[in-house]
A and B are shown apart, each in its own frame.
Chain A
Amino acid sequence: MTPQPKILVIDDEPQIRRLLRVAVEAVGWKVFEAGDGACGLSEVAFLRPDCIILDLGLPDLSGHDVLARLREWSQIPVLVLSVRDEPEEKIQALEAGADDYVTKPFDTRELLARCRTIMRRRENREEAPTFSQGTLLVDYTAHSVHIGSGEIDLTATEFSVLRLLCLNAGKVLTHSHILRSIWGPKAADQRQYLRVYVAALRKKLGDACQIKTEPGIGYRLMSE
């Protein structure tokens, strides 16, 4: 992580932008603002920010359009900030490449924590062969999972699900994304498969790792 991350806020509400500026500057990060989608996209290209906070209700383009255009050429982490809290909205944004989704009104500290998580995951994602968090150690190459010194026996599918969650620790993965990645495109609607495997994982891993259910959306591996 760069010592002073650059955050771009794309929101048409001046009050929200001002509030976020105060909050972000308080933790020592740099803030840039854009009042609409077109402006936001050109700022991204120009500034190369480390994280983008994106509102869905913009006057010119919808937030979904901004996200889609951005993902054509950039993998910069995006946190969606919106008043809409229907699961469909969230799934649509997450599937389109958003890294996280926060609804207004929001807790500024939680918002910043989530920004931090998605920025860190980008760095981790590159080539780390293992994932460790607390007592949990997942070795992707050896296909092994340890809690403390004890090895946990997982089936191949259980391991695939855990690996996907660990690679995206902190990020909400939609049901269909997980199903497609592990069982293939035809299984995208078979949520009951996933429920069974997640239940098994929770039982086997116990407190060492928290897989949180996002109701109606998917799962998230909680990261510190």
Chain B
Amino acid sequence: MMETERPTPEDFLEAVHADGPSGRGNLRVYLGMCPGVGKTYTMLEDARRRHKDGSNLLVGWVDTHGRSETAALTEGLPLLARKKLPYRDTEVEAFDIDAALQSGADILLVDELAHTNAPGSRHPKRWQDIEELLAAGIDVWTTLNIQHVESLRDAVAGITGVRVQETVPDTFLDGAHEIRVIDLMPEQLRERLADGKVYMGDRAAEAAGNFFREGNLRALREMALRFTTRKVDAEKRGYMRRHRIAGPWRAGERFLVAVGPSPYSERLIRIASRLAQAHDASWIALHVDNGELPTEEESLRLAANLSLARALGAETMSIAWPDPVGGILHVARRENITQIVAGKALKESWWRALFSPSVADRLQRESGPIDLHLVHPDGHSNSSHRRSANRLNDFLVALLILVSATLIGFGLEAITGHRPVAFLYLLAVAITGVFTSRLATMTMAVASGLTWNFFFTEPRLTFNMTASEDVALLLAAVLVAAIIGHLTTKLRERELASRLGEERAQALYQFTRVTAAAPSLAKGVTLALKQVDELFRCQASLLVESGEADLTLLGGPALDDKEISVCRWALDHGRQAGRFTDTLPESQILVLPLFANGKPVGVLAIRPTDQQFSSPIARDLLETFATHFSVMLEKEDYQKAQRESALGEKSRQFQRALLDHVSHEIKTPVAVILGSSEQLMHGSENRELLSEIQEAAIRLNRVFNQLVTLSRAEAGLIQPEMVVCDAHDVINDVRSRLTDDKIGVVGDTFSFRTDPSILDTILFNLLQNALQYGQGSVEIQAARRDGYTVFSVSSAGKKIPSQEQSRIFERFQRGSQAPAGGMGLGLAISKEFANLLGGDIRLEYSEMGRNIFVIEIPDIA
């Protein structure tokens, strides 16, 4: 009851989807039963109307098939230029998806949804182009004939005898916002065909006799109408569910279909898809990997089967399990499957029926409450031959063992008589089981029985036996041999499967250990790529996003421009691209996106040597590796964020220090001025207050000047102007403004080039600093020293602790022993100004117990 009344979270998700997901474009499909019903015509008519209403509409691709009425309709509509692609010796025209994405159109018309793109295009199929357009938020109108719908392909083939190669997955059509069926009575269509409005000349007559037979058209029309009805029905039910209207839908059916590399699986998948649709249920396509290594052909077919299932709306899974039935049932229970779709057993050999019951039989026995659908395979199964080539080796091994056993048997018989030789054959069967497949072992069991019979029992060299004990022994031996063979091969298969799992785990462990121990990202990447190279025997490159549109190579061989564009696409869309995928499959590289904190930040580009990653299962391990790369990048990302925030914290601390100092330096004199003047106003006779006010005002002025000077220097507003000066003149100018007789001048004078006002500021600040913080007299000296003019300002005082020495030239830094007053700007300004002159300042401490500030200014030509 609950399930029918309350919408599940999935329903809400669906509702969000249906109400136009944020930013995603809407898809409108003009659906027809066959070519010539007027889909493109109707679409263009609608487009003209919308264009007249002022919609921003663009014709991306329209095929008029030489029909003049249709061609006339495109006139006046904005058309997108077609792209020219080189194809063999000529050029072909193609839909230009990049131009379409950049066109800025709101609605884009792209004819022929089922079209297959020319080789060298970005996507193999047009519907994938449209998917990208929709994802970019562009509304798309397109046309489609019913026979190109994936799930209906077989049905259409059954009616018309024509099996189309170009199909569009049902899941894509499920996402359509609107499906418009373009309906035409079959008679009318045949009339149009006769009038030459569909095909020109001879083709018209040919078509009328084949595809456009009236019976075909009726069936196709029904199919098109039904398909549309189903979509409308689904919308209605979605609406009912969202609005809590109780309806007659079934609750919670879930289908599972087992998928293997056999071509027979394809039919199973289509049937499962139809069953699931009829029940409005979700379904899973499961592949059980039992550890047997598939041939190249098999893995390709398996990949194709799985992607077909995905295209038909299945969730695909793959599980490693030694026994297929066990694997199926394990997943079925875990995923709450209610119905399993399986194939009926194929032709069975007698021994197979005896020792290993068919999958169908076992499912029936072990599936418990789960319903079973057993489907009969249609004619073209050739799975019984598929392994022959692969297993030839096994039979050779078995033959070798048989011959060896027989040779040893001749020797043994001379000592023990012929019966113990039978046990020798048992041993041989067991050994065969260890090295070869089950089929070879079983064959070996029978063959060894026959060989014993032929060579060792009376009458010799015949298959006849005289002694009844021998007959009994033969039967028993063959039976025991078969059982031993069965058990050993089973054991071996298990071991193989677990070894495979072990290898993967080992590889992952190695990878993780090596990368985790790496001291830096670059080192880690190099090691990790080496691991990939060793394990998969193919080259890999790691690229990360840097800046707007750049990819930086972090490790591995460089890629060419074309390959970079594949990487770019994978990164922008957060999906796999390149070889073995749906996007740019002609590229030589396979690109996996890497995510940090949920957003794609880089890609792993692999250059496969052969078909090694063709199946999703083979890509499994690779994807796990990609995840580890992601973790590495994520860690780096995190550390970067941490560094940035530490930097931000430092700058915030600096801002705070600035505010603290400035407000202290300004508010203190202001407080003195306000307090003193207030007391004077209220009748205080104290004259001292006036000098307090003056002192505070001088202090305020100094703070103000320092701040302005520093700001000007920082803003680059102060440009040195060099003139020839006399060293003592400069010093005396500064001294006169300090009115302090504690300053002594040492040494001789000389002439040099400098900016006197800048030098004056430096010396003024240094002298003031020395007077304020030093003890006793202050000395200033000027000297020439190989290409430098050197001033030193010294005063007696305690040595400034070495950890503070480097900081005293920073802004708002005051020595820990500094008395009150001063903003810590004087030395900062001096340093800034010395740098303006191309020189520098440093602090020295002399043996005599004096702090000496040394300014060195180079002579600039």
* A residues at B contact (CB < 8 Å): 12-16, 18-20, 22-23, 26, 35, 57, 59, 83-84, 104-109
Known A16-B671, A19-B676; 9 more pairs at CB < 8 Å = A13-B668, A15-B695, A15-B696, A16-B672, A20-B675, A22-B679, A83-B660, A105-B674, A105-B675
Whether the Cβ atoms of B675 and A108 lie closer than 8 Å is yes
Whether the Cβ atoms of B678 and A107 lie closer than 8 Å is yes
Q: Which residues of B contact A14 (CB under 8 A)?
A: 820
Residue from the set B672, B688, B695, B817 with the largest chain A CB neighbour count within 10 Å = B672
When chains A and B are docked, how far (Å) is the Cα of A84 from the Cα of B661? Answer: 10
Q: A18-B688, A22-B684, A83-B664 are in contact. Are A108 and B670 (CB under 8 A)?
A: no
Q: A19-B675, A84-B660 are in contact. Are A13 and B820 (CB under 8 A)?
A: yes
When chains A and B are docked, how far (Å) is the Cα of A107 from the Cα of B673? Answer: 11
Min CB gap B585→A, angstroms: 60
Min CB gap B691→A, angstroms: 10
Q: Which residues of A contact B818 (CB under 8 A)?
A: 59
Q: Which residues of A contact B692 (CB under 8 A)?
A: 15, 18-19
> In chain B between 668 and 724, which residues have their CB closer than 8 angstroms to a CB of chain A?
668-676, 678-679, 682, 684, 686, 688-689, 692, 695-696
Residue of A nearest to B817 (CB): A59
Q: Which residues of A contact B819 (CB under 8 A)?
A: 12, 59
Whether the Cβ atoms of A106 and B675 lie closer than 8 Å is yes
Whether the Cβ atoms of A57 and B664 lie closer than 8 Å is yes
Q: Which residues of A contact B668 (CB under 8 A)?
A: 13, 15-16, 83, 104
When chains A and B are docked, how far (Å) is the Cα of A78 from the Cα of B522? Answer: 59
Whether the Cβ atoms of A83 and B667 lie closer than 8 Å is yes
B816 interface hit (Cβ, 8 Å): yes
Q: Which residues of A contact B695 (CB under 8 A)?
A: 15
B215 interface hit (Cβ, 8 Å): no
When chains A and B are docked, how far (Å) is the Cα of A16 from the Cα of B673? Answer: 10
When chains A and B are docked, how far (Å) is the Cα of A195 from the Cα of B133? Answer: 57
> In chain B between 44 and 74, which residues have their CB closer than 8 angstroms to a CB of chain A?
none
Q: Which residues of B contact A59 (CB under 8 A)?
A: 816-820
When chains A and B are docked, how far (Å) is the Cα of A20 from the Cα of B674? Answer: 12
A-B contact pairs, 22 of them (CB 8 A): A12-B819, A15-B695, A16-B668, A18-B688, A19-B671, A19-B692, A20-B675, A22-B679, A22-B689, A23-B679, A57-B664, A59-B819, A83-B663, A84-B660, A84-B663, A104-B671, A105-B667, A105-B670, A105-B671, A106-B674, A106-B675, A108-B675
When chains A and B are docked, how far (Å) is the Cα of A14 from the Cα of B668? Answer: 10
Q: Which residues of B contact A12 (CB under 8 A)?
A: 819-820
10 smallest beta-carbon distances between A and B, as pairs:
A105-B671, A12-B820, A104-B671, A83-B667, A19-B675, A15-B672, A105-B674, A105-B670, A104-B667, A83-B664
Q: Which residues of B contact A26 (CB under 8 A)?
A: 679, 684
When chains A and B are docked, how far (Å) is the Cα of A104 from the Cα of B692? Answer: 16
Q: Which residues of A contact B821 (CB under 8 A)?
A: 13
Whether the Cβ atoms of B679 and A108 lie closer than 8 Å is yes
Contact of A15 among B669, B682, B684 (CB under 8 A): B669
Min CB gap B751→A, angstroms: 43
Min CB gap B171→A, angstroms: 52
Min CB gap A183→B, angstroms: 34
Q: Which residues of B contact A57 (CB under 8 A)?
A: 660, 664
Whether the Cβ atoms of B675 and A23 lie closer than 8 Å is yes
When chains A and B are docked, how far (Å) is the Cα of A13 from the Cα of B818? Answer: 12
Q: Which residues of A contact B684 (CB under 8 A)?
A: 22, 26
Q: Which residues of A contact B672 (CB under 8 A)?
A: 15-16, 19
Q: Which residues of A contact B688 (CB under 8 A)?
A: 18, 22
Min CB gap B437→A, angstroms: 73
When chains A and B are docked, how far (Å) is the Cα of A59 from the Cα of B822? Answer: 12
Q: Which residues of A contact B660 (CB under 8 A)?
A: 57, 83-84
When chains A and B are docked, how far (Å) is the Cα of A104 from the Cα of B816? Answer: 23
Residue of A nearest to B665 (CB): A83
Min CB gap B67→A, angstroms: 75
Q: Which residues of B contact A83 (CB under 8 A)?
A: 660, 663-664, 667-668
When chains A and B are docked, how far (Å) is the Cα of A105 from the Cα of B666? Answer: 10
Whether the Cβ atoms of A109 and B678 lie closer than 8 Å is yes
Residue of B nearest to A18 (CB): B692
Whether the Cβ atoms of A22 and B678 lie closer than 8 Å is no
When chains A and B are docked, how far (Å) is the Cα of A91 from the Cα of B817? Answer: 29
Q: Which residues of B contact A13 (CB under 8 A)?
A: 668, 820-821
Q: Which residues of B contact A15 (CB under 8 A)?
A: 668-669, 672, 692, 695-696
When chains A and B are docked, how far (Å) is the Cα of A14 from the Cα of B676? Answer: 14
When chains A and B are docked, how far (Å) is the Cα of A107 from the Cα of B676? Answer: 10
Residue of A nearest to B669 (CB): A15
Min CB gap B660→A, angstroms: 7
Min CB gap A21→B, angstroms: 9
Q: Which residues of A contact B679 (CB under 8 A)?
A: 22-23, 26, 108
When chains A and B are docked, how far (Å) is the Cα of A14 from the Cα of B822? Answer: 13
Q: Which residues of A contact B682 (CB under 8 A)?
A: 109
Q: Which residues of A contact B667 (CB under 8 A)?
A: 83, 104-105
Q: A15-B695, A22-B689, A26-B679 are in contact. Are A35 and B820 (CB under 8 A)?
A: yes
Min CB gap B416→A, angstroms: 94
Residue of B nearest to A35 (CB): B820
Min CB gap B676→A, angstroms: 6
Min CB gap A203→B, angstroms: 37
When chains A and B are docked, how far (Å) is the Cα of A105 from the Cα of B667? Answer: 6
When chains A and B are docked, how far (Å) is the Cα of A12 from the Cα of B679? Answer: 22
When chains A and B are docked, how far (Å) is the Cα of A175 from the Cα of B703? Answer: 38
When chains A and B are docked, how far (Å) is the Cα of A26 from the Cα of B675? Answer: 13
When chains A and B are docked, how far (Å) is the Cα of A214 from the Cα of B671? Answer: 22
Q: Which residues of B contact A107 (CB under 8 A)?
A: 674, 678
Q: Which residues of B contact A108 (CB under 8 A)?
A: 675, 678-679
Whether the Cβ atoms of A22 and B674 lie closer than 8 Å is no
Q: Which residues of B contact A23 (CB under 8 A)?
A: 675, 679
Residue of A nearest to B686 (CB): A22
